[in-house]
Amino acid sequence: MMRRSWPLAMLGLLAGCACKAPANHADANVDVSGIERIQIEYRHMGWDNIEEHYTLVPRGEVFVLRSSYESRNHVQRRDSSTVPTTKVRDLVGAIESPAWTRSRGIHQLASTLKPKQLLPTGEETFFPPSKCSKDEQRILAGQSMKQRGVAATLDAFYGDGLSWTDDYPLATVQIVRRDGTRTTLHSNSQKALLLPWTPGAPQSSTSLTAKNWSIPISETLRAILPEDSYLQDRLDGIAFMVDRIRSNTVTDTIRQCDALRERTGKQADEGRAAIWAGSGRSDFSRDQTFPAMHRSRLASLLQTAWCIPAKARAGQAQHRRLSAKRAAPAVRPG
């Protein structure tokens, strides 16, 4: 009897699993039958002036997106396209779901990035040049990222409010139902995914209005819009964010590294010479990759602000012995 019930139990278990849709899929329980339209507006002011208008209306088993915008290729478009109802359910479900906290949104976004993506690549150029090599900059940046973490780095990047000038986006989404009820939210964020979103119309919200850090709102809205629109591109913004954080990291690292160099003076150069002496090389001022053993030693040296005159003298002595040995003429056996 036990043997016969086992396959049935397994089938019941599989059936139960199959009924649970993945979190990223549309929830069939989201009711979109009462929607009259969904209005999407985007305006950007700064170096350019952009206006985009979109209206989603039901038509039979699908929705139709009516678009009026200028593409990123500077082509004026007035189009109509079919949008599957599942995508509209995704959007409505994300908007009507409980709001995400800042911590949840930041940590979810951080889980998609690796620390290495936010570190200097070595191709960055700054003027005036730093007193520290690019190898040293990468080491310091790596130490800082390891201590701080990706989530804290993203949180600092998002900050509070606007972070730069000549870039003023405003996206508004409003769901209008046939019974007259309306659900509105907007974002004037400069940051990736237009996070956070603010409930209500722009003119009705205040700085005290609770924010919604829901990533699904941005992703599902982006999935509906034309691929060549400015708003669709702005709802991503990950690559721009990574470049901006990397640039900020380089600037902070150069400032930190130069400050250490100025504070420690001659001991800094002696310490760097000690590191390179272990490999029998004296070209420590050049920016090139060096063995992991010496990279680790240099990292330790930077952490202690290069204050190791004793090690520096020992390294220099070793370097002089190696140099003398290479310079001495070879003696052939008689």
Exposure of 149 in the CB half-sphere (CA atoms within 13 A): 8
Q: What is the mean pLDDT of residues 263-292?
A: 49
Please, which residues have CB within 8 angstroms of residue 101's CB and are 6 or more apart in sequence?
Answer: 213
DSSP H helical ranges for the chain:
2-18, 85-96, 102-110, 134-148, 150-158, 215-224, 230-234, 238-264, 266-277, 292-303, 309-327
Of residues 217 and 210, the one with the higher pLDDT is 217
Of residues 46 and 133, the one with the higher pLDDT is 46
pLDDT-derived band of residue 328, with 50, 70 and 90 as boundaries? low
Whether the predicted pLDDT of 174 surpasses 90: yes
Whether the predicted pLDDT of 168 surpasses 70: yes
pLDDT at 135: 83
Decide: 224 and 88 in contact? Cβ < 8 Å. Answer: yes
Most confident of 11-25, 158-172, 210-224, 311-325: 210-224
Quick one: 331 exposed, middle or buried, by C-beta within 10 A (0-12, 13-18, 19+)? exposed
Whether the predicted pLDDT of 237 surpasses 80: yes
pLDDT at 88: 98
pLDDT > 70 fraction of the chain, expressed in percent and rounded: 68
pLDDT in tens, 26-41: 566 899 999 999 999 9
Whether the predicted pLDDT of 300 surpasses 80: no
Question: Is residue 58 reached through a cis peptide bond, with omega within 30 degrees of 0 on the bond before it?
Answer: no
pLDDT-derived band of residue 4, with 50, 70 and 90 as boundaries? very low
pLDDT in tens, 55-104: 999 999 999 999 999 999 999 999 999 999 999 999 999 999 999 999 99
pLDDT at 233: 97
pLDDT-derived band of residue 14, with 50, 70 and 90 as boundaries? very low
Whether the predicted pLDDT of 323 surpasses 90: no
Decide: 318 and 280 in contact? Cβ < 8 Å. Answer: no
Give which of 79, 65, 70 is closest to 43, Cα–Cα.
70
Q: Is 29 helix (H, G, I), strand (E, B) or coil?
A: coil
Whether the predicted pLDDT of 293 surpasses 50: no
Crossing angle for the helix pair 85-96 and 215-224, to the nearest 10 degrees: 160
